[in-house]
Structure 1
Amino acid sequence: MSSRSEAIQRAETYFDSGAFLSDLARLVAIPTESQEPSQKPQLMRYLKEEIQPLLTRLGFKTHIFENPDPAGGPFLFGNRIEDPNLPTILTYGHGDVIRGQAGQWQGDLEPFKLAEDGDRVYGRGTADNKCQHLINLQALGCLLQEKKQLGFNCKVIIETSEETGSAGLQEFFEEQKDMLAADVLIASDGPRLQADTPTIFTGARGGKSFTLQVNLREGANHSGNWGGLLADPAIILANAIASIVDIRGQIQIPAWRPNSLTPDIRKALKDLPVGDKRGPALSENWGEEGLTPAERVFGWNSFAVLAMKSGVPEAPVNAIDGYAFAVCQLRYVVGTDVENILPALRVHLDANGFSDVEIRQEDRGFFRATRLSPDNPWVKMVSASLEETSGKKPHMLPNLAGSLPNECFSETLGLPTVWVPHSYAGCSQHAPNEHILKPVARDALRNMTALFWDISENGTPT
């Protein structure tokens, strides 16, 4: 007779045999760089050559859809309906990755060649998101091997444009609401709070990217002959940025300061660990005063400069450039007026004498902030299952510190959303040397296999 422990043992065997890393190596080897238009054929290749055959082996019916937005890549939908009266789980992943950044990785590491070094497994997409959706799909496989059926209905949606703002995802979901109908989203993206303890989050911070630019004149002029006579765009821009936040990064625009750090959110964030010994050390005297580190990153807004340039940094000359720009971003929580982010910035800059600073919204999409109550029955059930399997009480977050397209599931489809991340904070996501930790991946595979077992046995939580 099949059992929960035997299903978990199947997951352990799959990982310990090396089969998991072998499967992951094939996924990583496909350079699905959605930010590079020339790599668009690789997005379809990923779906057709890897994910579609995997779902077919698991008994799913599959179909690949073109994106309604020509800027986006294709979608793969799969479903396995065992009984219309059973609960339906929707899961999600994204097959695209950011640019590989070849030549910037340490030693002889290559972005699209899986490499092991102790507990670390390197490769672009290992953490974000190929490893994560591979774990969830193979956990379904372990359950099927053990029980020969899921005991619930399952739908899978894999997109290929998440790293460019999930172009077309909202439109696709609106067009396909009936096809995507489910009882809950259970999916994985982002990092655990700490590598050795499961994490659950039920929403995400939103993200708004924009460019600040100062364009005063064509070309550059000799800094000796014109210094003190010509306004310097870089200095103007630096001062404009310094007016947005103070010396410790505290936001100075009232409309950018959220109203949602309520007592219940503070209670949820109380005592949550932030940072990981494997990741960078937290900066002292940085962020909003009076808030704990957890409140700053999960309950508050943060402003960042992603890139900044004037002149030719790689080959400076004695000249004052006529142009400077900075790509900036506001990460925001529920309680922020999204439509007023850029208008409030315009008012602030003008009021502080920076009318020469232009604001240009980035073409890439952005995600809105979302949250779900930790008292939701699905959240409680997932938490209890993870605790039973791992022996540790999961860290519970009202929202991820980063951003992802959760609003498509929570708002468009009207689903409770439960995210169980399988990476960790020091994984170098979106940077050279991206990697996963073997112990985290193995633990996640065990946890998800057991979670799906529990749903199979217990049905919809009440």
Structure 2
Amino acid sequence: MNYERYFSENKDQHLSELMEILSIPSISALSDYSSDMIRAANWFASQLIHAGMEYVEIHLTDGFPIVTADYLHAPGKPTVLVYGHYDVQPVDPLPLWTTPPFEPEIRDGKLYARGATDDKGQLFLHIKAVEAILKQEGTLPINIKFCIEGEEELTSPNLPSFLEEHQQMLAADVLLISDMAMLEKGRPSITVGLRGVCSLEVSVRTANSDLHSGLFGGGVPNALNALVSLLASLHDKAGKVTVEGFYEGVPEITPSMRAEVVEMNHDEEGVRKSLGLDALYGEEGYSFIERVGVRPTLDFNGVYGGFQGEGLKTVIPREAHAKISCRLVGEQDPQDIINKITRHLEDSIQPGAKLFVKSGFQVPAFRLDSKNVFLQLAADAYEEVYGIRPLFTRDGGTIPVVEMFSRIFQAPVVLMGFGLPDENLHAPNEHFNLENFDKGLLTITSFLKRL
């Protein structure tokens, strides 16, 4: 079967369909878009039906619907479960978009829209690959199931219970996800490690009201001063986290891991220039790839308090707040890390200030042996289409469902990304390179047939 010709002949139709779903503002974080979330779930259900999938169902949850489907006509052959999500990130700041985020536009070989690469565009590839095989051959060479949710950008709060309740329906030999990036243009990669994550919100409170800085300044605790001092105590000047026990369970970087990094031939200077930075920064003794792939982090995601308006208001704020997240590796336990950070903050708080800590989401790190047969078949498929064998990499991001699926179903997870690092996911002007749209369809088709 000539799949390259098939996808070429149907490209305009496929892109038109993709633009339909990219036009739906399925922002799970904002309640104003709840009806659009339902529209997006229905759209994917109809696409699965059109592709030839069977038993397509829309399952209601306490949040947004989960869409499932299957095609089970290959007894004795592997069963693949494809996961993806139809929800997207908010679009702020809107003025930085060249074109409206939900009015898809193709420019310079790239499709611009919110969700183009994360994750509607990449999920769409799987549906079209399955549709192509069914149309060309009348059946699938393997068994396949889909599970598509609408709360990934909210850390999937309702998915764990759904998976537990539907283990038998969703059971598979391998999980297939495309929700990540390749190394760079023309250089495919397969992710075999993901950092975990935990988060917490910190509040510092002092007096019972804001105070005049002339009447009270220098004589009472200042919530912002106390918070900034507290946050500064979490790192040393070399970029290392100072929380006692933070690095327990973090594996040492082996010579073979360092050799893999060298093989990537990563352009750190190119990263610096593309970001408009004078210098990169991070934990001393490690390369950029090591810092963002196999080392843990502690980052401030938001700090606020006091007067936020235009001009100056000379007050001493009574409260200040910070949002903190940590990327975790190895055996670091998310709750244990939160506990250790909390103890550090409690021991370091200034006199007269009160500390309040609220725990957030928690996801353990994930690792998989690159020698796994499913991963090697995926590498074969990439090599066939891209003409180069992919590298097995460790990704600095966190995909909560990966660890979740692996634990619940005890099955390997194949992470086949077709995005690129510079496609602005979660940022203005998100886009998807159409070269990887074309090659992604061929790669997924090859992988399914190789199974």
- TM-score with structure 2 length normalisation? 0.92
1:435 aligns with 2:426: no
Assess if the C-alpha contact under 8 Å between 1:280 and 1:426 holds in 2.
no
Counterpart-to-counterpart distance in 1, 2:194 and 2:280: 25
1:339 aligns with 2:335: yes
1:286 aligns with 2:284: no
Counterpart-to-counterpart distance in 2, 1:338 and 1:248: 24
Instruction: Give the 3 Å change call, closer, same or farther, for CA 164–401 of structure 1 in structure 2.
Output: closer
Which residue, 195, 198, 207 being the options, matches 1:217? 207
Which residue, 351, 355, 358 being the options, matches 2:356? 358
1:58 aligns with 2:51: yes
Equivalence for 1:237: 227
Q: CA deviation at 1:42?
A: 2.0
Equivalence for 1:89: 80
Instruction: Give the 3 Å change call, closer, same or farther, for CA 312–10 of structure 1 in structure 2.
Output: farther
5+ residue gaps in structure 2? none
Which residue, 16, 19, 23 being the options, matches 1:22? 16
Counterpart-to-counterpart distance in 2, 1:447 and 1:350: 52
- Residue type of the alignment partner of 2:15: L
Question: CA offsets per residue over residues 93-132 of structure 1, 9 Å max, x none?
Answer: 000111132633334x212111222233221111211001
Counterpart-to-counterpart distance in 2, 1:453 and 1:128: 25
Assess if the C-alpha contact under 8 Å between 1:389 and 1:446 holds in 2.
yes
Counterpart-to-counterpart distance in 2, 1:147 and 1:401: 37
Counterpart-to-counterpart distance in 1, 2:426 and 2:18: 18
- Residue type of the alignment partner of 2:196: G
Equivalence for 1:403: 399
**Partner-residue secondary structure (3-state), 2:426:** coil
Instruction: Give the 3 Å change call, closer, same or farther, for CA 399–214 of structure 1 in structure 2.
Output: same
Equivalence for 2:387: 391
Alignment of 1:265-280 (within 5 A): 265-274=257-266, 277=270, 279-280=274-275
Equivalence for 1:459: none
- Residue type of the alignment partner of 2:85: H
**Partner-residue secondary structure (3-state), 2:185:** coil
Task: Pick which of 150-159 and 134-143 moved more.
Answer: 134-143
Counterpart-to-counterpart distance in 2, 1:404 and 1:270: 28
Q: CA deviation at 1:41?
A: 2.6
- Residue type of the alignment partner of 1:361: S
Which residue, 123, 134, 145 being the options, matches 1:133? 123
Assess if the C-alpha contact under 8 Å between 1:275 and 1:281 holds in 2.
no
**Partner-residue secondary structure (3-state), 2:25:** coil
Which residue, 358, 364, 367 being the options, matches 1:368? 364
Instruction: Give the 3 Å change call, closer, same or farther, for CA 9–452 of structure 1 in structure 2.
Output: farther
Q: CA deviation at 1:80?
A: 0.4
Aligned-residue sequence identity (percent) comes to 25
Assess if the C-alpha contact under 8 Å between 2:80 and 2:144 holds in 1.
yes
Counterpart-to-counterpart distance in 2, 1:341 and 1:151: 45
Alignment of 1:100-179 (within 5 A): 100-101=91-92, 103-107=94-98, 109-179=99-169
- TM-score with structure 1 length normalisation? 0.89
Task: Pick which of 218-227 and 422-431 moved more.
Answer: 218-227
Q: CA deviation at 1:266?
A: 4.2
Equivalence for 1:460: none
Q: CA deviation at 1:331?
A: 0.9
Assess if the C-alpha contact under 8 Å between 1:78 and 1:155 holds in 2.
yes
Counterpart-to-counterpart distance in 2, 1:282 and 1:415: 41
Equivalence for 1:251: 241
Question: CA offsets per residue over residues 400-434 of structure 1, 9 Å max, x none?
Answer: 53333211211011110011112111122112222
Counterpart-to-counterpart distance in 2, 1:282 and 1:335: 33
Counterpart-to-counterpart distance in 2, 1:248 and 1:35: 36
- Residue type of the alignment partner of 1:229: G
**Partner-residue secondary structure (3-state), 2:319:** strand
Task: Pick which of 437-446 and 192-201 moved more.
Answer: 437-446
Q: CA deviation at 1:63?
A: 0.9
Counterpart-to-counterpart distance in 2, 1:271 and 1:41: 47
Counterpart-to-counterpart distance in 1, 2:177 and 2:27: 22
- Residue type of the alignment partner of 1:21: L
